[in-house]
Each structure stands twice: as C-alpha cells, then as structure tokens.
C-alpha cells in the first residue's frame, strides 16, 4: 500500500503538520544517518552534490544537509513513515584541468537527471530539496536550467541568446522540487541573476550570461557566493569558498523551510 506524502503546494490545513516538525530553535549539528533505507517513501528527500575533488559522499554539502535533517526530523510522535531522508549524488567531481572538469560536469548533470527521475518513479509525491556545493551546484543548475553549448556558458548563442533556462528534468519531477540551494557555484553571475545572495559582484568561471533567467525554478532557487571566492567569483581566497555552510546555513535553512511550507 502506498503511504500518503505531502504535495508540493501545501494547503493551509497542512501547515500545522510541518510546523510540528520544526523546533523553536536551531538544533545542534549532530551527525545523523543520511543514507536512505528501503521502506516507505519519506515526506521530504534531499539530494546533495559535493564539490570538486571531494571524496565520494556529501563533501561540504553535509553542513546544510545535516541541518535540514536535524530540523525536519524533530517530530513527536514519530510519523508512520520517514519525515526526511537524504542522499549524495554519485558523480566524479573531478577537475584537474579544463577538459576533466567539463567531462565531470557532463557526467554529473546526467547523474542528477537520472537520479531525480528514478526517485520520482519510486516516490512520486515526495517533496524534493536539492543542494549543490561548488561543482555540485553547477551540475544541479545545469539539470534544472539547461546546459549551454559548452560547460563555461560561453558557447554560440541560440535564438534567445542562451538567456532563458530550460529544465532537462521531466515535468513530473519539476513539480516536486520545492527548494534548491547552491553554494559557491561557478554558474553565479555576480548578483545579476534572480535568487543570488552574498557579497560577490563578479561571476564565476562558468557564469551564466547577463540577463539569464530560469523561469521554472527562479522562485525556488537560492545561490550563495561571497567576494574573494575563486570559483563562483574572481577572488583568491579558498577559505571563503569552503565556508558557506557555516556562514549561510541558517539563511539557507529559512529559505528551504519557507518554500516547503508555502510551496
């Protein structure tokens, strides 16, 4: 028997249910199991993608992933099926040179699309939260907003100049994606794109073109980048690049909670 899951656009009578899942204060970042177990479909599911050269797993995306798990798992009494689960996208995350990075992004984008489709087929009513860090942010952006003619985004323009993003995931998947959080993504434009946050005023090495929009996901996407970041901007401080989970975790959590509650 298929257990019921919350729809993406929650009605007012559902709000009290999710509010019961939220603590009054942020929980401590204690480690939680993040590997989905076979069983009933969860209400919420997180798909996270790690940064370049990080070993298989969550990499730096673990900070926000654990925060989301801690927050939404605060429920009493326990639900009849999981409140929230999480998994890491399996992709190479390589980047020793330009060609290796490009191949990794291509493989990673395909992995995001495939996993979203597979999971949606198994749990067609589960609400999805996507989180990508650095290259992980780029592959999620590409899956949701389309891939330009080359991985840098500087290929030949098409009929609209490559400025309108078109999802590569099926409509059935699109409707279930409630929130997308990118941190340190090379697709960052320097604050010229809707949903961009942080202090960086210059885009990354794979920035989307000026005037770019992704109509399907603009309202559901937040992308963080700070000045000094060498990957999502033009800086030289790698510590800035690695620190987004700690700096913006609370803000990102609030963004996700609002999108899940309101739809």
Question: Who's near 231: CB < 8 A, 6+ residues apart?
Answer: 134, 184, 186, 204, 205, 241
Active-site residue 241, yes or no?
yes
Q: Is 134 a catalytic residue?
A: yes
Asked if 126 contacts 5 with a C-beta cutoff of 8 angstroms, the reply is yes
Q: Out of 134, 185, 223, 233, pick the active-site residue.
A: 134
Q: Cis omega before residue 114 (within 30°)?
A: no
Q: What are phi and psi of 188, to 5 degrees?
A: -60, 140
The backbone torsions φ and ψ at residue 122, rounded to the nearest 5 degrees and listed phi first, read -80, -40
Angle at alpha carbon of residue 186, lines to 180 and 187, rounded to 5°: 60
Q: Are strands 127-133 and 196-197 parallel, antiparallel or unpaired?
A: unpaired
Q: Among 45, 223, 229, 233, which one carries the catalytic annotation?
A: 229
DSSP state of 89: -
CA–CA separation, 147 and 140 (whole Å): 10
CA pair distance 33, 85, nearest whole angstrom: 8
> Please, which residues have CB within 8 angstroms of residue 259's CB and are 6 or more apart in sequence?
178, 179, 220
Distance of CA 107 to the CA centre of its chain: 17
Q: Is 229 a catalytic residue?
A: yes
Neighbours of 117 (CB within 10 A): 13
Catalytic annotation, residues: 134, 229, 241
């Amino acid at each position: 028997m298929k257990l019921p899951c919350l729809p993406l656009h929650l009605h007012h009578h559902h709000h009290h249910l999710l509010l019961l899942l939220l603590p009054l204060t942020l929980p401590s970042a204690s480690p939680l199991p993040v590997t989905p177990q076979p069983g009933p479909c969860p209400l919420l599911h997180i798909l996270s993608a790690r940064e370049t050269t990080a070993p298989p797993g969550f990499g730096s995306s673990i900070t926000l992933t654990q925060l989301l798990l801690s927050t939404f798992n605060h429920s009493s009494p326990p639900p009849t099926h999981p409140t929230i689960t999480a998994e890491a996208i399996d992709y190479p995350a390589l980047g020793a040179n330009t060609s290796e990075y490009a191949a990794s992004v291509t493989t990673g984008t395909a992995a995001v699309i495939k996993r979203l489709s597979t999971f949606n087929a198994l749990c067609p009513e589960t609400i999805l939260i996507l989180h990508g860090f650095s290259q992980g942010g780029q592959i999620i952006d590409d899956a949701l907003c389309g891939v330009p003619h080359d991985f840098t985004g500087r290929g030949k323009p098409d009929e609209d100049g490559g400025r309108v993003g078109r999802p590569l995931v099926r409509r059935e998947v699109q409707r279930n994606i409630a929130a997308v959080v990118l941190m340190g993504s090379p697709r960052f434009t320097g604050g010229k794109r809707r949903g961009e946050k942080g202090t960086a005023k210059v885009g990354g090495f794979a920035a989307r073109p000026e005037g770019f929009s992704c109509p399907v996901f603009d309202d559901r996407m937040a992308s963080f980048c700070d000045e000094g970041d060498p990957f999502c901007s033009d800086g030289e401080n790698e510590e800035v690049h690695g620190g987004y989970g700690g700096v913006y975790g609370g803000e990102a959590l609030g963004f996700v909670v609002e999108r899940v509650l309101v739809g």
